[in-house]
Structure 1
Amino acid sequence: MNFVNASGHCVPVEIRRRKGTRRLRLSLGQQNQVVASVPWHVSQRAVVQFIEQHRTWLDAQLAQLPALCSLSSWFQRHPRISASGDVFALRIEDRECRQPNYCFEQQGAVLVLRLPVIHETAIRQLIRRFAKDALTCRVAYHAKRLGLNYTTLSVRDQASRWGSCSARRGISLNWRLILLTPSLQDYVILHELAHLSEMNHGPNFWALLDLYDPQRVRHEAELDACAAELMRVARA
């Protein structure tokens, strides 16, 4: 099912049926698709009618979305990554090696991705491996500094969230954190570490996060400003 926008482009429509959904609702997904959340019993014809009724709103929202971007295209425009509280220049090379790997050169200032063949899938797999290593070290650093303990850390490809913390004290982070500035990367990590003590977003949580990150209000605004674009990286 597709929605033809005002420019004549076909935009995929993803219908999500859930028993707990009580009314039809439209949103836009991270792959720039229209997402229709639909009660279980509602017919597809009713969904089509609902979408048509909201055509003006959808056209306006779709026009504001950042374009999907491949990881290689992103690095051509932004050849850098964040890790260990610092920013490193990034270079991608084709090398005669058995397995993709990365190393640091120029006295640790440049991260080099070494690949037998340079293509999008290989770049994505290697940069996610680097993200796992880098974020594991950064979380451990902040947890030790704050005297906190967590059980597990996973680095995943979340659709829209930067991170989460489970009731079992497990932390999950989006690999795209390495595309943020060091201060915003640390803000997300500190946000999830604060959930180890306060599992909700009540006043005690925000007071604790203010202690962890005195610039958290500014960092929240900066993260909101860049999230839509960054969440669409490596989805093309």
Structure 2
Amino acid sequence: MDLVYTIKRSSKRKKLNITVERDRSIVVHAPEGVSDEKIQQVVDSKRQWIYEKINHPQKYQDLPHPPGKELVSGESALYLGRQYRIELVKMGLSEIKFSQRFLIPATQGEKREETLREWYIGKAKEKIVPRVKKHARELGVNFAEVKIVDNRYRWGSCTVKNNINFNWRLIKAPMFVIDYVIIHELAHLIEPNHTPRFWNIVRAQSPTMDKAKAWLKENGQLLEQVI
């Protein structure tokens, strides 16, 4: 099977580099003087690595979505793995309220998306941070700090300073998926690489690991959308 890729050349670049984006597209970053033939040779030599990246659980394929979905009454927004109806409230509401549906002040106009994003971030801090502390105790590991961040390309990360970061968009996923991502990052404090030992640690703490990875693979793109 031929690999389809995009070439981006730059006069500032000295080495050729291949990246597989979250949507599984392949991008070759190359110095200006490198020929198409040379790039093809390098891609062919990295074929196995590229296939592994393409099949990584945090990559996803485009899903068909209705065009023009907007933050209006009658639409729905994702929270903890479920879609909840949106209702715009014209009077008596100054901030988003959630009660088995999203009640959003209609007065905010174009700021509705930003307001919903801030609500998600607040809920991520409220629900994810305590889960990190809980799982860290169970795993017997210590971390420096946990942060909720805006990172479009990773659900979670563990830094060299033992800080644990989580993408705020995770709050849209079911709790078993959130727990899996938390355990995955905390397990890196024990085993930095994705070795068999690493996956044994994760699986022991997250029995639904395979189900969570499959959910992310199928629904990852949904988490990236505003609603």
Contact preservation (8 Å) 1:71, 1:124: no
Q: Normalized per residue, which structure has more strand?
A: 1
Find the residue that maps to 1:207 and give its secondary structure: helix
Residue of structure 2 equivalent to 1:66:
63
Instruction: Quote the Cα distance in structure 1 between the aligned partners of 2:153 and 2:181.
Output: 13
1:208 to 201, 206, 214: 201
What's the CA shift for 1:150?
1.1
Instruction: Quote the Cα distance in structure 1 between the aligned partners of 2:179 and 2:74.
Output: 24
What's the CA shift for 1:26?
7.5
Contact preservation (8 Å) 2:172, 2:223: no
Following superposition of structure 1 onto structure 2, how do residues 105-124 of structure 1 map, counting pairs within 5 Å?
105=99, 117-118=108-109, 119-124=112-117
Give the AA of the match of 1:22. Answer: L
2:122 to 112, 120, 129: 129
Following superposition of structure 1 onto structure 2, how do residues 84-103 of structure 1 map, counting pairs within 5 Å?
94=89, 100=95
| 1:230 equivalent in alignment to 2:217 | no
The CA RMSD over aligned residues, in Å, is 4.0
Instruction: Quote the Cα distance in structure 1 between the aligned partners of 2:203 and 2:86.
Output: 36
What's the CA shift for 1:186?
1.0
Instruction: Quote the Cα distance in structure 1 between the aligned partners of 2:27 and 2:85.
Output: 39
Structure 2: runs of 5+ lacking an equivalent: 1-5, 40-60
Instruction: Quote the Cα distance in structure 1 between the aligned partners of 2:154 and 2:192.
Output: 16
Following superposition of structure 1 onto structure 2, how do residues 39-188 of structure 1 map, counting pairs within 5 Å?
39-42=30-33, 65-66=62-63, 73=71, 78-82=76-80, 94=89, 100=95, 105=99, 117-118=108-109, 119-188=112-181
Instruction: Quote the Cα distance in structure 1 between the aligned partners of 2:14 and 2:103.
Output: 48
Give the AA of the match of 2:79. Answer: I
What's the CA shift for 1:132?
2.4
Q: Deviations over 1:107-133 (max 9, x none)?
A: xx6676668515222222232222222
What's the CA shift for 1:70?
8.3
Instruction: Quote the Cα distance in structure 2 between the aligned partners of 1:37 and 1:16.
Output: 8
What's the CA shift for 1:217?
2.3
TM-score by length of 1: 0.62
Instruction: Quote the Cα distance in structure 1 between the aligned partners of 2:73 and 2:142.
Output: 34
Q: Deviations over 1:62-120 (max 9, x none)?
A: xx6236888955996544522xxx9795756546566x4x5565xxx667666851522
Residue of structure 1 equivalent to 2:182:
189
Give the AA of the match of 1:81. Answer: Y
Residue of structure 1 equivalent to 2:55:
none
Structure 1: runs of 5+ lacking an equivalent: 1-12, 51-63
Find the residue that maps to 1:172 and give its secondary structure: strand
Contact preservation (8 Å) 1:71, 1:120: no
What's the CA shift for 1:145?
3.6
Report how many aligned residue pairs link the two structures. 194
Give the AA of the match of 1:124. Answer: R
TM-score by length of 2: 0.64
CA distance 1:168–1:26, shift in 2 (3 Å): closer
Residue of structure 1 equivalent to 2:28:
37
CA distance 1:115–1:206, shift in 2 (3 Å): farther
Instruction: Quote the Cα distance in structure 2 between the aligned partners of 1:139 and 1:75.
Output: 35
CA distance 1:174–1:220, shift in 2 (3 Å): same
Give the AA of the match of 1:232. Answer: E
